[in-house]
Amino acid sequence: MGGGGRIDTAHHESKAMKALDETAELAKAVETAVRMVDLEETLVVVTSDHSHTMTYNGYSRRGSNVLGLANKMNSSSGLPYSILSYATGPGHRSDSNHDFRLDDMDSLNYTYPSLFPMVRETHGGEDVAVFAAGPWAHLFTGNYEQNFIPHAIAYAACIGTGLQASFNSAASSPEKAQRSLPQYVFGRRGGKTPPAPANASRACSYAVL
């Protein structure tokens, strides 16, 4: 298992450049992991446990530096605004006419502007994406609660005491698995743990990353 924890740290400090740089490093780590495994046997899942309040502000010209200023001017002050900003965080400017052209936005530690002043930026509340490839990746589609993810991974890997994948079990097909696993996770079976498959040879002897 790998993680990009410094993405979170950078966002809490409203350091967007550092957060995006760490995101690019995480992407490289995922690419390396995918090259090292056999996707016929290995389920790879990439996701996040929450979002942040960083926003991409629009109306800049194509090809503009996303870490810089928009080409449009603020209608009230006549000054350019940053393409990236935060709803909360330490980057609040008390001067509504702050001229961002005077800031060193090329610095890795530049603190991007925020609407509400806070010592640390908060998490966001929107849904986050889940990307999956490999056996049983089809389980990670649609909208679902975050606590579904570990159950789906355990199901695919045949680990734990919960519902498990097996070609000879009642949830053998992808279609049945998608129906029965969410029902089990969200308690539509009265909260009872379903019995383990009777057969000893289960078709899920692959690793999970």
Taking only the tens place, the pLDDT of each residue in 98-130 is 999 999 999 999 999 999 999 999 999 999 999
Residues forming the annotated binding site?
Answer: 8, 12, 49-50, 123
Query: Looking at residue 24, what is its pLDDT?
Result: 96
Q: What is the total residue count of the chain?
A: 209
- 161 Cβ contact list (under 8 Å, min separation 6): 193, 196
Q: CA 164 to CA 197: how far, in whole Å?
A: 7
pLDDT digits (tens, 9 = 90+) for 33-80: 999 999 999 999 999 999 999 999 988 888 999 999 998 776 678 889
Query: What is the pLDDT, as a whole number, of residue 58?
Result: 87
Hey, CA dihedral for 9, 15, 17, 20, is it positive or negative?
positive
Task: Give per-residue pLDDT as tens, 147-197.
Answer: 999 999 999 888 888 777 654 444 445 555 555 666 666 554 444 444 443
Secondary structure class of 103 (helix, strand, coil): coil
With a CB cutoff of 8 Å and minimum separation 6, the contacts of 39 are 133, 134
Confidence (pLDDT) at 8 = 97
Q: Does residue 5 surpass a pLDDT of 80?
A: yes
- Tokens linked to 150: 């570990």
φ/ψ (deg, to 5) at 46: -125, 125
Q: Does the structure show a pLDDT above 60 at 199?
A: no
Confidence (pLDDT) at 173: 56
Cβ(109)–Cβ(91) under 8 Å? no
Sheet strands (E) in 93-202: 114-117, 123-124, 130-133
- pLDDT attached to residue 120: 98
**84 in Cβ contact with 16 (< 8 Å):** yes
Reply yes or no on whether the pLDDT at 205 is more than 60: no
Predicted pLDDT at 113:
97
23-40: per-residue pLDDT in tens?
A: 999 999 999 999 999 999
Residue 59: both structure tokens together:
């109306």
Q: Of the given ranges (18-22, 82-86, 202-206), which has the lowest mean pLDDT?
A: 202-206
What separation, in Å, do the N-terminal and C-terminal C-alpha atoms of the chain show?
5
Q: Which residues are annotated as a binding site for Zn(2+)?
A: 8, 12, 49-50, 123
What does the alpha-carbon distance between residue 178 and residue 139 come to, in Å, rounded to a whole number? 6
The model carries a pTM of 0.79
The mean pLDDT value for 16-29 works out to: 96
